[in-house]
Amino acid sequence: MSAYFITGTDTEIGKTFSTCALLHAARAQGLRALGMKPVAAGAEWVNGEFLNEDAARLRAAGSFDPGLALLNPYCLASPIAPHIAAREEGVRIEPARIRTAFDSLRAQADLLLVEGVGGFRVPLGDDYDSADLARDLGLPVILVVGLRLGCINHALLSAEAIAARGLTFAGWIANRVDPAMLRVDENLAALHKGLPAPLLGVLPFREDRDAALAATALRLP
């Protein structure tokens, strides 16, 4: 059984799209694959429960539906920084609760992808952030690089932060979030040179966000 922590160079760079594409790639190889969103901020009330769009997309992309209680242990209503949303909603994000859900999902799947929130170091509480969560789960990290101006700096800083936590940098995905970006090949060359991990694929820009079709551009780590 394998598990990875999926992080990004920033928010809104296609982390969920990339995670769903990896799930579809794994399923195409006959693996039972699940996605997990431990903490999500921004949700709508649907059928008697809060539902986050990213969590819903992960649930749909997985091999089966494990239930939102495991897939998304903390679903916060406000679309703001999770530690602020949690404080305003009277919620304390407990790593032990996330770990329990993680262990349950990992026992049910051949591949479990744990998607963080925003970038690598997003606060989840006063003294705990998403990098701490990746460290506590002990997972190798896959970095989603949103290809847009500034991505090289963000990617290199993220790689340094991953190394500082003593975590394995398992690979990176380049996602074409800006179809008008100039000098894409040159930026990819700089990322290849600077990132100490293999490239798992370059995802094309897709307005329809169809992760199943994008999966063919990826390989599993």
Task: Give me Rg for the CA atoms of the chain.
Answer: 16
Q: Name the token pair of 6.
A: 């999926």
144 in Cβ contact with 9 (< 8 Å): yes
Size of the chain in residues: 221
Q: Name the residues annotated as catalytic.
A: 37
116 in Cβ contact with 7 (< 8 Å): yes
Q: Name 7's bridge partners.
A: 143
- Residue keyed to tokens 């997985």: 62
Distances (CA, A) of 77 to 10, 82, 86, 133: 21, 10, 9, 21
Distances (CA, A) of 219 to 24, 172, 216: 11, 11, 8
